[in-house]
Chains A and B, each alone.
Chain A
């Protein structure tokens, strides 16, 4: 991949986990601290990101494009876009959050963390375990101690697995 001549926009290729390639303007990826450093210091034109699924990468690139177009006049529109952006199943949201953290896109990371926190909000311990597929690794004695101490933590919202 030829990396730019003067006057032209620099082009960069990102390679997702399944070797799918995404070609985009270099200026877009500068929102990612990780990619910015790679581009600036190592002058690469193709960056492999094997740990990020293509599906996730598509979403993130979509966000980067929208964010680059953000102006004071389309703020409302961007907010709606953000809302829709995190309106995905929990697994996907976590995939995005993990990738965004790796890429160090700070504004988006804030937003993703809040979105995950909103999914946890008001949920009982059991419900949180269920939606995040966490298995309790406490002994039965410890488990019953928790139940005794904060019974309300185990009450309600048990079937609330709506993502």
Chain B
């Protein structure tokens, strides 16, 4: 080699777009840690360009998040719960050997009356929000209304989450168990969480109102939040929905008749799930130990198609968790049988068991995303998108 030869390449010689490509192939927790390598890596990883690209790439690879709640502590009188321990684990579904990997746990001091819990990418409980990827826990502004539920939708174009809070307008009625009660007024408010924070100090209330007796279930599919609700004066349940970005409400949809209505005269049968980007309604029969899955084919025409019947063989109550894509066009439906998570292969009509956790769990699907609830560390926030620097060979 003569003297004109340059030294060997170093990773610093890589054009930024190549470094971005390389880092976007790593697990999100690892990427988060690697911000500590150097200022260049910190700037690259915290740049909006990298984060959008990462979040787009990870869409096809949902993982399961397992949340265990344990170690309840009570007040000396034993009447009130003071705290509990929330443990967070994950399971990679894209590998053959599914294992529950423990991530971290923390003690949650319980606020009276409020202990809602949702868990996909964000975990919401007791007026707090936790981002398990970064282990951040931040307070949410308190809403003074009787809460019914929280739902979260993700908006990829600007890497934000929107929380939608469904609430009753009057103190008094027990909105969560108003079965057999007359229709009451419900309203909605939203909170937008931006990558890097801060969390807004108040909820934005929407003018829209709905009247129904009780809410059965809710889910978010393709940036539309759907609430399955019931009215006493009408036999069938219906679905109200809101487009998350515009906050516009769509026409309500009637549900197909519940074939197992006789089985559950008191509790509400019916559950919503995101099935490969389509809204799915599940009715289950405990007697027959099976779930019927209806898919909404056309919102305007209110057209449902019964697409799957899953037989379990053993009587239990099941929750449909979501859809896990496999290679090709095939996919699996994840189901929680209360004791054990299961995966149902749609093409082969076959169930397989996932590892059984030691204690009672909550389980949900999530997607690896670069998202921070709070501001980037060390105030080294990027001022320019590094990609514009371009090739430099």
Point out residues on A near B: beta carbons under 8 Å. Answer: 17-18, 51, 53, 91-92, 94-95, 97-99, 101-102, 109, 113-114, 116-117, 120-122, 124-125, 128-129, 132-138, 142-143, 145-147, 149-150, 152-154
B interface with A by C-beta (< 8 Å): 1-2, 4-6, 8-15, 17-18, 21-23, 25-26, 30, 32-39, 41, 377-378, 391, 393
Closest A residue to B18 by CB, please name it: A101
Question: Contacts A18-B1, A102-B391, A134-B11 given: A120-B36 contact, CB under 8 Å?
Answer: no
B25 lies within 8 A of A145 (CB) = no
Q: Are B33 and A150 in contact (CB under 8 A)?
A: yes
A113 lies within 8 A of B393 (CB): no
26 contacts between A and B (CB under 8 A): A17-B5, A18-B1, A51-B6, A91-B9, A91-B10, A94-B8, A94-B9, A95-B9, A97-B9, A98-B393, A101-B18, A102-B391, A113-B18, A113-B21, A116-B22, A125-B33, A129-B37, A132-B11, A133-B11, A134-B37, A137-B39, A138-B38, A142-B378, A145-B377, A145-B378, A153-B34
Q: Is the CB of A153 within 8 A of B393?
A: no
- A102 neighbours in B (Cβ, 8 Å): 391, 393
Q: How far is the CA of A143 from the CA of B377 in the complex (A)?
A: 11
**B36 to chain A: which residues have CB within 8 Å?**
125, 138, 143, 146-147, 150, 153-154
| Contact (Cβ within 8 A) B38 A134 | yes
Residues of A within 8 Å of B9, CB to CB, are 91, 94-95, 97-98
Contacts of B30 in A (CB 8 A): 120-122
B14 engages A98 (CB within 8 Å): yes
Given A94-B11, A97-B14, A134-B12, CB of A128 within 8 Å of CB of B21: no
Q: For A120, what are the chain B residues with a Cβ–Cβ distance below 8 Å?
A: 22-23, 26, 30, 34
Contacts of B10 in A (CB 8 A): 91, 94, 132-134
CA A95 to CA B1, docked complex, whole Å: 15
| Chain A nearest Cβ from B39, distance in angstroms | 5
Query: A101 with B15: in contact, given A122-B30, A136-B38, A150-B33 (CB under 8 Å)?
Result: yes
Across-interface contacts of A152 in B (CB, < 8 A)? 33
Nearest chain A residue, comparing its CB with the CB of B12: A134
B39 contacts A138, C-beta separation under 8 Å: yes
Most buried by A among B6, B15, B18, B39: B18
Give the residue of B1, B12, B26, B393 whose beta carbon is less than 8 angstroms from that of A51: B393
Is there contact, CB below 8 Å, between A136 and B37? yes
